[in-house]
Structure formats: structure tokens, C-alpha cells
Chain A
Amino acid sequence: MIGANLPALQIVLPLVAAPLCVVLARPNLVWGFATAVSWTAMAVAVALLVQVLDGGTISYQLGGWEPPWGIEYRIDLANAFVLLIVSSISAIVLPFAHASVVEEIPEDRVSLFYCMYLLCLTGLLGIAITGDVFNVFVFLEISSLSSYVLISLGRDRRALTAAYQYLIMGTIGATFYLIGIGLLYAMTGTLNMADLAARLPAVAETRTVQAAFAFLVIGIGLKAAIFPLHTWLPNAYCYAPSVVTAFLAATATKVAIYVLLRVLFTIFGTEFTLGEIALQWVLIPLALAAMFVASTVAIFQTDVKRLLAYSSVAQIGYMVLGISFGNLTGLTATIVHLFNHAVIKGGLFMVMGCVFLRLGSSHIRDLAGLGRTMPWTMAAFVTGGLSLIGVPLTTGFISKWMLLQAAFEAGFWVLAVAIVFTSVLAIVYVWRVVESAYFREPSEKAAKASEAPLSMLIPTWILILANIYFGIDTSLTIGVATKAATSLMGLAP
């Protein structure tokens, strides 16, 4: 009984739990409750992945209405993998959240904070699980509205303007997406993804469908922060509370990239996207611009959180690049990097959460000499940084290796050079932080700092060690990603 209803549980559980947080009200109680819910959600996601690996795609009909009339939750390997990423990152971030939230959020708002956090989790999981394009819009707005609130809770007043800017751009993105699916509905009369995929080829030549495609790509591009639509991201990540940054940086843009994959490959199909529209000639320049411009801008940042945020924009460039090669290896690289980047950036932003807890600042000047007073925290940063650069035996290396292989397979050796060169830029910006932390005299704040509490260090190190583990044993990540990419591209397994 429970086994058959897991897809619904995945969403209903955090959705129902969110308002209960407000009722429970006591900060410690709410935190424990939210953590328990998040762990259960992760268990459900793991069970779903196992089910999909064993028995193939799951089709779950909400309320017993058959698709394409009712809303269908359709779980194949691609979204089972995304569900696992989102729920496990959340399960690791929440134990970390306890000490950080007490410090950064006023006590009377803690229960509301966890309420919003669970709603955001619901939205992200919902986007990943559903097989209905309008349902994606609804969950997109649930996750977006709650993340605007979460970002605005930052202590700096600039968090408010960052949240406002994200609200404006996010709403434009969501509305573009809405226009896109409206036009598709006008042409096909259906909202179910599988049904759309079956009916679109007949009308693919029309201007309406092409316009719909453009609206969808730009709308999702805004959400995914694809260069040059990324302008909301650095401020939002920089001024949001540490916990929020760690969670959103590891999940929100990844889920948007997943939606992009769904639209490009499942709904419109490889032939339309890369053949007729030839989207790769739009995506490749944008990806390159993201990799070069954002990495270069990251080098000149003085705030480490903002530096990492710009690095995220560059990393999204790698994912977009993987899509545009148009071969199986490239798409696999994108999906693998969804996971790997979540682990890298989740870990690094959690390190910054530890730093922020002790220093009350994430300015690179204040980090000077921190390697002496917070050795474990900064060691985590160095390990995560190595993974971000793509040093062998880390997850970052796996992603870049796959991307390079894809580039050679597609015959774009120039792009392979670009990938290597931008990794050098990554070395520069990671080195700036490392140099400040280990080779400078301690700053006033750093000298007084003590090591972060274990409740924060342990989750941080779990993610950092995951960087090493999945850099060595890639059977889960590459295995699942290859199968997911195969089914997305519609190739025979």
C-alpha cells in the first residue's frame, strides 16, 4: 500500500508538514520535526529510485484520473535521480541548520523559517516528480515564492533588495513559461508531457510551437540562471541566510536545469531541439560566456559567498555546454554534474555558513588567517575547492572528464580547451581564499574565532567527503546518469 503511493507521499509529506511547523512554534521542536520530515522524504526518494531501477518508469495517477486528463506523476531515472539530489541535500542541510538558524534568524521567526523551508522543498520535489507541464508551473511558484521569503530573511538589508530583484525576474521567468505552455496547449490540447511529446511532431512546423519553444527556454533559463539571465543570482546567494544559500545553491538551479532537459528532450525531442531549431548554436556561446565571464568576475570578488555565487553561474555554463554537444556523453555529463555540483556547492556554502557563524562576515579580508583558528572548517573549504577546480579523485574531475570526452566525441576540441582554461580560472579564485586563510596574519575577527560547533561541522564534512567518495566510486552517479540520458534522448537502452 505504502509502496504504491510513494510518489504522492514524496510531495504530500513536506507539504502537510510545512503549516504544522507554525503550529508547533517552539524553535527546537520545529527544527527536530522538519529534520525528521526531510529524512523521511529522503528515504522515500531512495525507495523510489530503487523501484525505478528495478521495475522501470513509474506512472502514478493522482486521484485515479487517467492521463492525459488527470495529473500524472511520472518517475523515470532522470527525475528519480533529481529527487534523490534534492531530498538528500535537504536532509544534510537541516541538521546543519540548527545552530546557524539560531544565530541568524530572530527567535520568533524560526518556526516560520522552517515552514518556508519545507514549502520550498515541496516545490522543488514537485517540479521534479510531476509529468504535467502545468503542474510544473504550480510547483515552480511554490518553490519560488518560498525562496523569495527565505532570501529576504538575511540579516543585511541588501537581502531585501536581492529578494525583490529575484521576485521580479523569477516571476517574469515563470510567466514566460506559462505563456509557452499556453501556446502548446492551444496547438495540442494536452498538458501531459508524454502526450505532448506524441502530438507535437504533427504541428512542429508551425510558428506557434516555435514561439512556445522560445518562451519556454527563456522562462526556464531565467530560473536556471543561464548567462546572461543570471543577474538575480549573486545577490540572492550572497545576502540570504547561510542555510538558505547552501540549500538553494545546491538544489534550485539544478531543478531548473532538469526542467530544461525535460522540455528540450522529452517534450520537443532531440530532433526538434538540436536539429530543426539548432539550439546548440545559441547555447554554446552562452555557456562559454558564462564559463569565462562569470569565472573572471568571481576572481575579483571580495565577498567569498558572492565569489562562490559567480562560480555557480560558471558551473551552470558547464551543464548547458553538456546539453549542447548533442551526444549521449554530453547529456550524461550534464546530469552527473547536476549531482556533483550540488555536492560541491552545498559543501562549500555550508563551510561559509560555519565561517559566517563565527565571524559574522564572509569578506575575504576577515577570513585572513582563519586556517589557524578554524582548521577543520578551512580544511573542508580546501577539499571542496579542489573538487570545484576538478582535481582528480574528486567529483569535479569526473564532471569535467565526462565533458571533455563529450567535446572530443562531438569534434569540438576548441571547447575542450575552453573547459581546461576555465578550470585554471577556478584555481585562481579558490587560491585567493586559500591564500588569505593560510598565508596571512590573522585578522581581528579571525584571531578571536573558534572552531564551528560539531552539529555544523559533521554535515559539512559529510558533503565534503561525498566529493571524494563520488570522485572515486562513480558507479551510482555515472551509472544512473547514463541510463537517464539514454532515456531522455529516446535512444534504445
Chain B
Amino acid sequence: MIQWGLFNYWIVVVLMMTGFFIVISHGNLIKKIVGLNIFQASVFILYISIGKVDEGTAPILDDRFSVYSNPLPHVLILTAIVVGVATSALGLALVVRIREAYGTVEEDEILDQDDES
């Protein structure tokens, strides 16, 4: 059995920073939402990794197994995933409306239009 150690958590950190950087640096409203999704996905992985017990199996009672993973973080993150989907949907819906109102999804062009009016 290979010991992966903290591998998961390194992935979490890399994804978290990647997503966060995209949200901050990109001016394209859709790319911002993509960044936000990557950022949130990293947190999902963090929770799932916390709940994993080495050598543990899915928490279904059975005579053959004695070590189970902790299901609670997995259930929690299921809720957070739903929230994440709702947020993305709402965010994209707003982008559609913004595009109808301004004719663009670039942040700086929107700001220019607002300054003119």
C-alpha cells in the first residue's frame, strides 16, 4: 500500500490558490466564475480528505470490515456542492443579464460604459 501522506492537501493548496488567483486577476466575468468553481472544488477535496481514514471503507455495516471512513465531512460537502452549483447558476444567470444590458462580459469595458453614463 502506497502511503500518499499529505499529497491530497498539496493538491488542495495548489487548486485553492489557482482558483483564487483566477477570481482576482481575470476581468472576464465567466472566467471569474470558473475560478470560483475551482476555488470551491479545492475546499470540497479538503473536506473529503479529512473524512478519509487509511484502509477504511465506505461506512456500511458489514462483518468483513472493522475500519470505516468518517461519512460526516462527505455529507457536509454534499451540501456545500449543492450550494456551489446554485451559486454558479445564479452567477452565470447574472452574467447573461449583464451581457444583455451592456453587450459585453469584460469587466473593464463595463466600467468604461458606467463611467460614460
Contact = CB atoms under 8 A, between A and B. Distances in A.
Contacts, number: 66
Interface residues of A, dominant DSSP: helix
B50 interface: yes
B98 A161 contact: yes
- Chain B contact-residue range equals 20 to 34
Nearest to A186: B50
Contacts of A172: 20, 23, 36, 39
A158 interface: yes
Interface string A179-190: 100100110000
A138 B84 CA distance: 11
A175 B19 CA distance: 12
Interface residues of B, dominant DSSP: helix
14 contacts: A134-B79, A137-B80, A152-B94, A152-B97, A158-B114, A164-B95, A167-B90, A168-B91, A171-B36, A174-B83, A175-B40, A178-B43, A182-B43, A182-B46
A160 B94 CA distance: 7
Interface residues of A, number: 25
B85 to A, nearest CB: 11
A393 to B, nearest CB: 42
A157 B98 CA distance: 8
B53 interface: no
A44 to B, nearest CB: 26
Contacts of B47: 182
Contacts of B39: 172, 175
A167 B32 CA distance: 11
A161 B32 CA distance: 13
A164 B85 CA distance: 16
Interface string A146-180: 00110010000110110110011001101100110
Nearest to A179: B43
Given A157-B98, A164-B91, A171-B87, 20 more contacts: A137-B80, A141-B83, A141-B86, A141-B87, A145-B86, A145-B90, A161-B114, A164-B98, A167-B91, A167-B94, A168-B32, A168-B36, A172-B20, A172-B36, A175-B39, A178-B43, A182-B50, A182-B73, A185-B50, A186-B50
Contact of B76 (A134, A171, A175): A134
B42 to A, nearest CB: 9
